[in-house]
Amino acid sequence: MSSLFAFAASFARVPARLLVLLMALALSASGCSSSGSTPASGVAATDASAAAGAGSAMVSVRLTQAGDQVALSNPERGFYRWSWSDLPQLQQMDAANAYANGYRMLYTPVRLDAWRDTALPESLLTQLDQAFAIARANGIKVIPRFVYNYPAGETDYHQAQDAPLERVLAHIAQLKPVLRRNADVIALLQAGFIGAWGEWHTSAYQLTEVGPRTQIRDALLDALPADHFIAFRYTGHLMDWYPGTPTEAIAFNGSANARSAFHNDCFLASDTDVGTYSEDPATAQREREAMAARARITPFGGETCNPADDPQAHPRTRCEDVLGEGARYALSYLNDEYYRALFHDAWIEGGCYEQVQRQMGYRLTLTAASHSAELARGGELRLDFTVRNSGWSRPFGKRGVRVLLRHRGSGQVLALEASAVDPRRWTAGGSFSHELRLPVPSQAGIGAYDLYLALPDGAASLAQDPRYAIQFANADDASAGQEWDEGLGAFKLGSTVTLR
């Protein structure tokens, strides 16, 4: 190497930038390398002295997008279906079938008809624990709704019975411990309890009045952790509780406003969505604007319906309707089974069903990544990355960002947590860049490691389960060594870092 420095000294008057280039050429000619390894296919080494100020090389990763035609089955988004039974009777076969067919959520009603006048039995609470365990064992989450009735048709609900306020509050208090210890597999809770189908209308006990409904809202919010949402059926209730337009400033702050979502169970079904919105055009416009704003910070979804109860219905069944309103209301989830004859079949015929399937919720693509080429054990790994969200909505469940290093020889996996990054902040239509500095354990083995990026579930009980990790919309590319690793629940970047 002394000849190299003599070579450099002879160019003392050469500009520094050119001198660095000449030294690099000399290193190349002499067969020397600062890292002792050659960048893998799909990556390029860059000088970090300008980019990182650290004087060590960075690896720039070339990434391939999967394309807009690829459907991804990701947690807490997309089409859902009904469970084959009520939640207390949920079966292993049902949950396994849902997961195998790409559903990551099941709508699971809980009938409380038999206990309108009495406390819930311990046997029911035990059944609920067992049902949540079945969901957890099969990689799905559930959308429960507790109801005191479930009318068979769209026109015979007027005499449906719910329960007195004191009984409802007592039932919620009994359910609270069950809901809290199983919150990891509850995607969100639909408010339920009040009126026909638990949809907060036609209550036999006037529970839709301001006082009772507010007490029930507060009890439901208290029954789940502060990072979980309760979805309510009617715009008027939400606007009475929370005047003004909800904004990003309150997103995920744990307040009642930030946790109160909207579900529309007659999405697109008529001019008013069968009573969801006011018949007065000006009022309906204000309601729609308020719900569109709320859907930016809370999960919006529901189902279409048969508008049989609305003789003047004008259902919006065209592709341009669902694509336009799906984007406007940041649609995160939708029933895949109802009302297919009027809506889903029309989307299939119009050629947009699969686009709806792809764009519901979030769709995250890694568009850029670079990282340290090598570092000493006990040092900090630098990883810079950019992600684009091309979905209609954002991730709503609490979630981590994890960098995995897998030793190419031993297979040992190091997990580095990036706790400062919150994927829930990756809003629809945006690109988001992060610069990570992650300490590497000093006892890690020396050698080359493959890099992976993962977005695991935020619940400790699910954080190591790859089925609950978000899959990036990046294509597997064998030539670049890039692929989704189902076993790790992480995307392999196709590049390596060397620990020394």
Predicted confidence at residue 419, as pLDDT, reads 95
Predicted confidence at residue 145, as pLDDT, reads 99
Predicted confidence at residue 465, as pLDDT, reads 99
Q: How far is residue 454's CA from residue 100's CA, in Å, rounded to a whole number? A: 22
- Distances from the Cα of 353 to the Cα of 125, 247, 357, angstroms: 38, 31, 6
Contact in structure between 294 and 256 (CB atoms under 8 Å): no
Predicted confidence at residue 25, as pLDDT, reads 34
Q: How far is residue 440's CA from residue 447's CA, in Å, rounded to a whole number? A: 13
Strand partners, 369: 61, 385
Return the number of other C-beta atoms located less than 10 Å from residue 50's C-beta.
9
Q: How far is residue 216's CA from residue 202's CA, in Å, rounded to a whole number? A: 16
For residue 339, is the peptide bond before it cis, meaning its omega torsion is within 30 degrees of 0? yes
pLDDT tens digits, one per residue of 167-187: 999 999 999 999 999 999 999
**Which among 140, 143, 144 has a CA at the least distance from the CA of 102?**
140
Q: How far is residue 283's CA from residue 269's CA, in Å, rounded to a whole number? A: 18
Contact in structure between 256 and 209 (CB atoms under 8 Å): no
Contact in structure between 77 and 361 (CB atoms under 8 Å): yes
Predicted confidence at residue 36, as pLDDT, reads 34
Reading the block at residue 7, the tokens are: 């070579």
Predicted confidence at residue 11, as pLDDT, reads 34
Predicted confidence at residue 51, as pLDDT, reads 37
The bridge status of strand 380-389 relative to strand 43-46 is unpaired
Q: How far is residue 194's CA from residue 192's CA, in Å, rounded to a whole number? A: 6
Contacts of residue 13, Cβ cutoff 8 Å, sequence gap at least 6: none
Beta strands in 289-376 (DSSP E): 300-302, 331-335, 364-372, 374-375
Predicted confidence at residue 312, as pLDDT, reads 85
pLDDT in tens, the chain (500 residues): 433 333 333 333 334 333 333 333 333 333 333 333 333 334 544 443 333 334 469 999 999 887 778 899 999 999 999 999 999 999 999 999 999 999 999 999 999 999 999 999 999 999 999 999 999 999 999 999 999 999 987 777 888 999 999 999 999 999 999 999 999 999 999 999 999 999 999 999 999 999 999 999 999 999 999 999 999 999 999 999 999 999 999 999 999 999 999 999 999 999 999 999 999 999 999 999 999 999 999 999 999 999 998 888 999 999 999 999 999 999 999 999 999 999 999 999 999 999 999 999 999 999 999 999 999 999 999 999 999 999 999 999 999 999 999 999 999 999 999 999 999 999 999 999 999 999 999 999 999 999 999 999 999 999 999 999 999 999 999 999 999 999 999 999 999 999 99
Predicted confidence at residue 22, as pLDDT, reads 34
Domains of the chain: 1-32 (no CATH), 34-68+363-499 (2.60.40.770), 78-359 (3.20.20)
Contact in structure between 485 and 491 (CB atoms under 8 Å): yes
